[in-house]
Structure 1
Amino acid sequence: MIAGALAGVAIYSVYLDREYRDYRAAFYNASRPDSDEKFGPTPTDLINVNINQLRSNRNTLRNRRDFMIVMFGAAYLLQGVDAYVYAHMRSFDVSDDLSIAPSIRPDILASNTPGVTLRLDFYSRK
């Protein structure tokens, strides 16, 4: 499950990065009349798009891409926590023969007032 999250975030990050690079090139080329195509040629589907729309989409895609990079780091940390917990819970007994034996008995509390004690004993039937 965690590996799927890592893969999904990575694939989406690559997609966002490609889109961001296209909009960055289109914005750069549209904002300079003597464009040297520093970031590459303008993609054909972005020719004649309003420069404000190009700027807005470029910024949005960059922010989403950066957020996905942070999410990739979080998913990676979650994978580490999952592995750590699994390693410690590996020896935990989860067999079907676990039992509980409740017992209720009267008790005298520290202030010499009557009380009730509930005791739960967990044991394995063998």
Structure 2
Amino acid sequence: MATSAAAQKPTGELRVSKDSTVVPAKKTVKIDPLAPSRAAFYSAILPGLGQAYNKKYWKVPIVYGAMGTSLYFYFDNNKKYNQYRDAYKRRLAGYNDDEFQYLDNDRLISAQRFYQRNRDLSLLITAAFYILNIVDANVDAHLKQFNVSDDLSVVPDVYQTDINQMPNVGLTLNYRF
């Protein structure tokens, strides 16, 4: 704080006046360096818990919807794969009284491969959503601590080139201390 002192009386009395141009102190944000790793750990333990830790509650249903949908397709494709596999095994054993009597052996093998591929793909997508859940919680916790004050701004700018005096559009980065 800037002060000015003026001795007006010879008795040693000192007058202090406040400077009117003093900028108020900025609000500081406490940074927790362990918050991103904690959010990622929580999401790894229970999907969606890291999003709740970051107070992004609207993301929790998205996490469970994505993982639940892909798990549903995994179990559905696994059930159909087992049905076609069991029917093919029964055909090899000499029985022909299954629910797929209208299909020949080549069609049963083709159906097995189709549902096996879809089952494996559904499991891969489930794992990708699980990893994405962890990464999202980590990145969101990092961005929560990111400085978004008015001291840093990006504004569009129109300027003329020195060569042909044509207007160009660009961005200007302003940083104030």
TM-score normalised to the size of structure 1?
0.65
| Aligned with residue 136 of structure 2, among 82, 92, 105 | 82
Give the Cα separation in 2 of the matches to 1:55 and 1:31.
12
Structure 2 residue 129 is matched with structure 1 residue 68 = no
| Residues 8-32 of structure 1: CA deviation (Å, up to 9, x unaligned) | 1000111101111110111111122
Could you say if the C-alpha distance between residues 71 and 101 of structure 1 is closer, same or farther in structure 2, counting changes exceeding 3 Å? closer
Give the Cα separation in 1 of the matches to 2:154 and 2:136.
32
Q: Percent same amino acid at aligned positions?
A: 25
Q: C-alpha displacement at 1:48, in angstroms?
A: 3.8
Structure 1 segments unaligned to the other structure (5+ residues)? 36-40, 103-117
Greater C-alpha radius of gyration: 2
Counterparts of residues 84-103 of structure 1 (less than 5 Å) = 84-92=138-146, 100=153
CA RMSD of aligned residues (A): 3.1
Counterparts of residues 1-126 of structure 1 (less than 5 Å) = 1-33=62-94, 42=98, 44=99, 46-92=100-146, 100=153, 120-122=173-175
Amino acid at match of 1:69: L
Amino acid at match of 2:173: L
| Residues 12-60 of structure 1: CA deviation (Å, up to 9, x unaligned) | 111101111110111111122169xxxxx94x3x134211101110111
Structure 2 segments unaligned to the other structure (5+ residues)? 1-61, 156-170
More helix by share: 1
| Residues 76-126 of structure 1: CA deviation (Å, up to 9, x unaligned) | 11111001001111233558x676387xxxxxxxxxxxxxxx963246xxx
Give the Cα separation in 1 of the matches to 2:64 and 2:75.
16
For 2:58, the equivalent position in structure 1 comes to none
Could you say if the C-alpha distance between residues 93 and 50 of structure 1 is closer, same or farther in structure 2, counting changes exceeding 3 Å? same
Query: How many residues are matched?
Result: 101
User: What SS is found at the alignment partner of 1:121?
Assistant: strand
Give the Cα separation in 2 of the matches to 1:34 and 1:67.
32
TM-score normalised to the size of structure 2?
0.48
Give the Cα separation in 2 of the matches to 1:4 and 1:87.
22
